[in-house]
């Protein structure tokens, strides 16, 4: 019955539309028709005289296409009964389900032989950035070239270069440099990504699905995007674009209307595995120094402070409890033991400048410190004790896995506890050994209720509470007394020491 009703409704609607159209013929006067015809003819003449904007795109293609390459990679991976490790899944497989996906090269055939290993073959893109003395240097993604056992590069002119060599790779930015032996190479030129603005026209090059030198066009949709695809240690400051980026585009150049490389195509946001309107590229501002360092040394060194940080905008109550009245800057949440910041910075400091440059967010501070050379001295403008002051810190060399250094803890089973949901004991030799503590006395947290205010504040077993709202405490009783007098709705500041260093925590009841 419902289908019948639908058919009737459609027929009636069609008749109504047809009737309106017929009626329109009668009411459309000769004068109106003449005006419409005149307008069309005049517009055609205007279009005929418009400059051919296609020429711009043709010129860009002619300039950039000779520098674009396809990289075919073989990776030898462990043959596990479970899945291939995540770093290889990301390259050879599509996650789907609306996650952020790195455009995965085509899957290849598994190699035979060693039953404990298997071979995966995939393709990505790259761009030649330097050529001299019979060699060329290609910029691409780490997820394309990193960990490769074999690489073959196909140039835009059809030449196939075997035995390409990985010079170096940086997982934290997803960049890599590949070296090939070949003559008559034409390198691309760098552009300045800091000059990009939302709405600027850009073009993406690469070898999607193996089609070397493909070009797509779009605009800059947004800048300074963090997509969460490179992990806690990753550096993400992506250019978001709507130029189609597909599997195999990874590592290809993003260029401006001057034909200059302003980014490296890296990732897409997709639920289907194909491009759905959101692509991400690493800006040249970040890619160029990484490329130069990898090319010259084969590895990346970064400056390191050794602090845990939060945006003031996200922890305004904690910053305000220190007397800070601004809404931007970086709050020092913790200071690691034996780090460059030890004895120089302390929990509760608010960093507002680095070497005279204003610092508004943790991303800005982290990026600025990372590009500085280990061993160099930086001057931080810090709000402490109610006033601004300069603090000089000599940077260290960032550990390979900074997050492990910052977050390594000795676990302990959570239990219910006191007023804010924790249990404490007087620090003794056994507890000091259990939690790796150097303190000789104090109130050490031994358990935390996972649903408590203590857990929400970040307290964990092994934390030694040293201050409550700027008042020193040396025993569990003193901590309990101070907390019982505090206004939890307004928020309470705790200073703690632990195996990693010192931290500032803020407990607040909703």
The structural architecture, per CATH, of the domain 412-507 is Roll (2.30)
Return the pLDDT at 216: 94
Decide if pLDDT at 27 tops 70. Answer: no
Identify the weakest region by mean pLDDT among 19-28, 127-136, 201-210, 393-402: 19-28
Report the mean per-residue pLDDT for the chain: 80
Identify the weakest region by mean pLDDT among 8-22, 47-61, 175-189: 8-22
Decide if pLDDT at 432 tops 60. Answer: yes
State the average pLDDT over residues 137-156. 93
Please, are residues 272 and 318 in contact by the beta-carbon 8 Å criterion? no
CATH 2.30.42.10 maps onto the chain at 303-404, 412-507
Render pLDDT for 201-234 as a digit per residue (tens, 0 to 9): 999 999 988 888 899 999 999 999 988 888 778 8
Of 122 and 97, the structure prediction assigns the larger pLDDT to 122
Distance CA 332, CA 309 (A): 5
What percent of the chain lies above the pLDDT cut of 70? 80
Return the pLDDT at 239: 96
Domain 55-300 has CATH 3.40.640.10: no
Of 442 and 30, the structure prediction assigns the larger pLDDT to 442
Return the pLDDT at 84: 33
Render pLDDT for 82-106 as a digit per residue (tens, 0 to 9): 333 343 333 333 333 333 444 444 4
Torsion, CA 421, CA 424, CA 430, CA 433, rounded to 10: 60
CATH 2.40.10.120 maps onto the chain at 55-300
Render pLDDT for 406-420 as a digit per residue (tens, 0 to 9): 443 333 333 223 678
Task: Please give the CATH topology (third level) of the domain spanning 303-404.
Answer: Pdz3 Domain (2.30.42)
Distance CA 273, CA 265 (A): 16
What's the length of the chain? 510
Of 476 and 53, the structure prediction assigns the larger pLDDT to 476
Distance CA 28, CA 59 (A): 47
Please, are residues 55 and 63 in contact by the beta-carbon 8 Å criterion? no
Render pLDDT for 41-55 as a digit per residue (tens, 0 to 9): 787 777 676 666 788
State the average pLDDT over residues 264-268. 90
Residues noted as catalytic: 143, 174, 250
Distance CA 315, CA 309 (A): 10
Distance CA 123, CA 141 (A): 11
């Amino acid at each position: 019955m419902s289908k019948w009703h639908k058919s009737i409704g459609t027929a009636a609607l069609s008749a109504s539309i047809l009737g309106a159209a017929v009626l329109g013929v009668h009411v459309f006067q000769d004068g109106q028709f003449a005006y419409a015809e005149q307008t069309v003819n005049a517009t055609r003449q205007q279009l005929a005289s418009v400059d051919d904007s296609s020429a711009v795109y043709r010129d860009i293609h002619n300039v950039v296409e000779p520098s674009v390459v396809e990289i075919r990679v073989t990776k030898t991976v462990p043959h596990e009964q479970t899945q291939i490790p995540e770093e290889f899944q990301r390259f050879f497989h599509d996650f789907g389900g609306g996650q952020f996906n790195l455009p995965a090269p085509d899957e290849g055939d598994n190699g035979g032989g060693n039953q404990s290993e298997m071979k995966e073959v995939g393709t990505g893109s790259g761009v030649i950035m330097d050529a001299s003395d019979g060699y060329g240097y290609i910029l691409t993604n780490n997820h394309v070239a990193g960990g490769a056992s074999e690489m073959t590069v196909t140039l835009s002119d059809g030449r196939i270069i075997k035995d390409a060599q990985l010079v170096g790779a940086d997982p934290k930015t997803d960049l890599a440099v590949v070296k090939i032996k070949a003559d008559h190479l034409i390198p691309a030129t760098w552009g300045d990504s800091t000059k990009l603005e939302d709405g600027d026209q850009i073009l993406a090059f690469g070898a999607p699905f193996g089609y070397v030198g493909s070009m797509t066009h779009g605009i800059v949709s947004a800048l300074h995007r963090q997509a969460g695809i490179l992990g806690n240690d990753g550096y993400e400051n992506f250019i978001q674009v709507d130029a189609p980026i597909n599997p195999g585009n990874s590592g290809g150049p993003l260029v401006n209307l001057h034909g200059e490389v302003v980014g490296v195509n890296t990732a897409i946001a997709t639920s289907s595995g194909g491009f759905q309107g959101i692509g991400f590229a690493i800006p040249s501002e970040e890619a160029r120094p990484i490329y130069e360092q990898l090319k010259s040394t084969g590895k990346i060194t970064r400056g390191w402070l050794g602090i845990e940080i939060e945006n003031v905008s996200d922890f305004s109550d904690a910053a305000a409890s220190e007397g800070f009245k601004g809404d931007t800057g970086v709050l020092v949440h913790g200071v690691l033991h034996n780090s460059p910041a030890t004895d120089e910075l302390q929990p509760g400091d608010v960093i507002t400048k680095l070497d005279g440059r204003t610092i508004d967010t943790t991303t800005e501070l982290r990026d600025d410190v990372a590009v500085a050379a280990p061993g160099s001295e930086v001057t931080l403008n810090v709000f402490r004790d109610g006033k601004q002051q300069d603090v000089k810190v000599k940077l260290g060399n960032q550990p390979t896995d900074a997050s492990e250094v910052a977050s390594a803890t000795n676990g302990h089973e959570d239990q219910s506890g006191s007023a804010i949901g924790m249990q404490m004991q007087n620090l003794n030799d056994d507890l000091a050994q259990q939690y790796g503590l150097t303190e000789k006395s104090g109130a050490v947290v031994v358990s935390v209720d996972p649903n408590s205010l203590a857990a929400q504040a970040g307290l964990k077993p092994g934390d030694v509470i040293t201050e409550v709202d700027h008042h020193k405490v040396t025993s569990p009783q003193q901590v309990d007394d101070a907390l019982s007098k505090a206004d939890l709705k307004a928020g309470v500041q705790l200073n703690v020491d632990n195996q990693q260093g010192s931290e500032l925590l803020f407990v607040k009841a909703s």
